[in-house]
Structure formats: structure tokens, C-alpha cells
Amino acid sequence: ELKVEQNPLFLSMQEGKNYTIYCNYSTTSDRLYWYRQDPGKSLESLFVLLSNGAVKQEGRLMASLDTKARLSTLHITAAVHDLSATYFCAVDMNNAGNMLTFGGGTRLMVKP
């Protein structure tokens, strides 16, 4: 059974600081996804990582994938309040692009 674990589960940080969210998974997969969810809203796709060593950046967020370590990171640079949300990683169970298993989410609060 594929397990996807995120840590921390909750993160409170000051504006301007840097931090990293970790996503570990338990089985071989070359595909990993990051999503953002605002309270009471749907999930928005942030990054699609499809190979070992993949790195994607958008604004203050950067995601990377190490398939050998079964680890993905979401790095936040100089956080701003607008980044406050819950972030989910998801792993493709069979590398076929049709079944994702989600982590439990990391709730991020950025304080002024």
C-alpha cells in the first residue's frame, strides 16, 4: 500500500522567512504533484514533477523531486501572507498518470 507522508502538518512562519515542506512516499514512483487549497475552496495544481531531479519554480515556491530517496520538497522563499493555504503532495501509484495518492496536507500560516 502506498503511503504519502507530509511534514510538518502545520507550519506557522513569519513573512520574509524561508522554509521547506517535505513529502515522503513509500513506493517507487517517478511522478509527483503539488496542490494548493485555500480554506473552503477547491485544489489548484501548482507543480507537476515527472522525473528524478525535476525542479520547478513559480514565484516564491520551488518544488523538487528525488525519486531515489522517495522525497519531494516544496521550498518557500521569503514568505508572504498570500501563501497561507494548505499544500498537498500527491504521488502517482502506478506511473501511468491515472491514480494519485495524496498526503495529509501541510497547513501553512504566514504571519505579518
Partner 1 sequence: DAGITQSPRHKVTETGTPVTLRCHQTENHRYMYWYRQDPGHGLRLIHYSYGVKDTDKGEVSDGYSVSRSKTEDFLLTLESATSSQTSVYFCAISGVVGTGANTGELFFGEGSRLTVL
Residues that bind partner 1 (CB under 8 A): 4, 31, 33, 35, 41-45, 48, 50, 88, 90, 92, 96-105
Contacts of 59 (CB under 8 A, 6+ apart): none
Q: Could you say which DSSP state residue 15 is in?
A: T
Query: 44 or 58: whose CB is closer to partner 1?
Result: 44
Shortest Å distance, C-beta 43 to partner 1: 5
Shortest Å distance, C-beta 39 to partner 1: 12
> Dihedral of CA 74/78/82/84: which sign?
positive
Query: 77 or 84: whose CB is closer to partner 1?
Result: 84
Burial of 96 (0-12, 13-18, 19+ CB in 10 A): exposed
Query: 53 or 97: whose CB is closer to partner 1?
Result: 97
